[in-house]
């Protein structure tokens, strides 16, 4: 699962974390202020690190599927976080701030020798330009941009290696099915799932089919799920068909 790492635990960060908890991200929050960085405030996060930003980023390491949103309380912290992130791997990095504040940070980064093409890839000011004003609206704009970028990049993290269960992978889609080719879900023997192939009735049926495979000891399967009929009955926009490969990791 991709990590969404929020540098800063203020009001916008809280809204981003709340909304992102519905978007299949592993949420991590960093702030050096205990009143902002605590598990009670960010109950939806898998990790809340109350420590200096650079120490926390060192502890987390970096991955190619990390999504960073820099939302600290000052441009000096923003600049420090951005410099650290750009030294590692990432899928996305966005930084909040006015155009004047962003320009100041970028000027400092150029003076420190960061290449222009690397800095051009930073989404700043972060978020889609939708006229957002409130923390919740700003969170929508940020996550809209992240969703757009994640869709452009395609499936994120690979399935967890070596873990037992049935790996369900979309091999073909048509119409307006919500997930694309390569999207996966691992159904564990206890019925818990990692990943998603789109949610709803089809994902539930795929889970039942996977559990039946585990019960019967079947090794492989391939199924076609037609979302169109159910979608039409429910008045939903989402429809289409998906083909799913099933592999039993015994």
Query: 3-153 in CATH: which number?
Result: 3.40.50.720
What letter would DSSP give residue 35?
A: T
165-171: average pLDDT: 95
Q: Which residues 6+ apart lie within 8 Å of 174 measured at CB?
A: 240, 241, 242
34-55: average pLDDT: 97
Strand order in the sheet with 184-187: 193-195, 184-187, 165-174, 241-249, 220-226
- The domain ranges of the chain are 3-153, 165-249
Q: What band does 195 get if pLDDT is binned at 50, 70 and 90?
A: confident
What residue ranges in the chain does DSSP mark as E strands? 3-7, 26-31, 47-50, 66-70, 92-95, 165-174, 184-187, 193-195, 220-226, 241-249
The pair of structure tokens assigned to 65 is 């599927």
> pLDDT tens-digit profile of 107-151?
888 988 999 889 999 999 999 999 999 999 999 999 999 999 887
Q: Is the pTM of this model over 0.95?
A: no
The pLDDT score that the predictor gives to residue 232 is 41
220-234: average pLDDT: 71
The pLDDT score that the predictor gives to residue 88 is 94
Give the whole-angstrom CA distance, residue 234 versus residue 191: 27
Q: What band does 176 get if pLDDT is binned at 50, 70 and 90?
A: low
> pLDDT tens-digit profile of 47-101?
999 999 999 999 999 988 899 999 999 888 999 999 999 999 999 999 998 888 8
The pLDDT score that the predictor gives to residue 236 is 41
Give the whole-angstrom CA distance, residue 74 versus residue 110: 19
The pLDDT score that the predictor gives to residue 229 is 56
Tell me what the pLDDT averaged over the chain comes to: 89
The answer to whether 27 and 46 are in contact (CB under 8 A) is: yes
Q: What band does 248 get if pLDDT is binned at 50, 70 and 90?
A: very high
């Amino acid at each position: 699962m991709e990590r969404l790492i929020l540098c800063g635990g203020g009001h916008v960060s809280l809204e981003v974390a709340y909304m992102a908890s519905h978007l299949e991200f592993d949420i991590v929050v960093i702030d050096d202020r205990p009143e902002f960085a605590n598990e009670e405030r960010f109950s939806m996060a898998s990790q809340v690190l109350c420590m200096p930003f650079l120490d926390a980023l060192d502890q987390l390491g970096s991955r190619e599927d990390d999504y960073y949103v820099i939302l600290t309380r000052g441009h000096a912290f923003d600049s420090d976080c951005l410099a650290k992130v750009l030294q590692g791997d990432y899928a996305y990095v966005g930084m909040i701030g006015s155009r004047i504040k962003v320009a100041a940070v970028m000027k400092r980064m150029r003076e420190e020798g960061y290449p222009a093409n690397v800095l051009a890839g930073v989404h700043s000011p972060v978020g889609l330009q939708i006229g957002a004003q409130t923390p919740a609206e700003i969170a929508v704009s940020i996550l809209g941009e992240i969703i757009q970028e994640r869709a452009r990049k395609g499936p994120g993290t690979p399935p967890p290696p070596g873990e037992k269960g049935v790996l369900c992978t979309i091999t073909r889609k048509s119409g307006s099915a919500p997930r694309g080719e390569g999207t996966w879900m691992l159904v564990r023997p206890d019925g818990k799932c990692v990943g998603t192939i789109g949610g709803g009735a089809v994902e539930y049926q795929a889970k039942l089919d996977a559990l039946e495979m585990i019960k019967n000891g079947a090794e492989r399967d391939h199924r076609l799920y037609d979302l169109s009929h159910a979608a039409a009955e429910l008045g939903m926009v989402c429809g289409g068909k998906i083909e799913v490969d099933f592999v039993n990791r015994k």
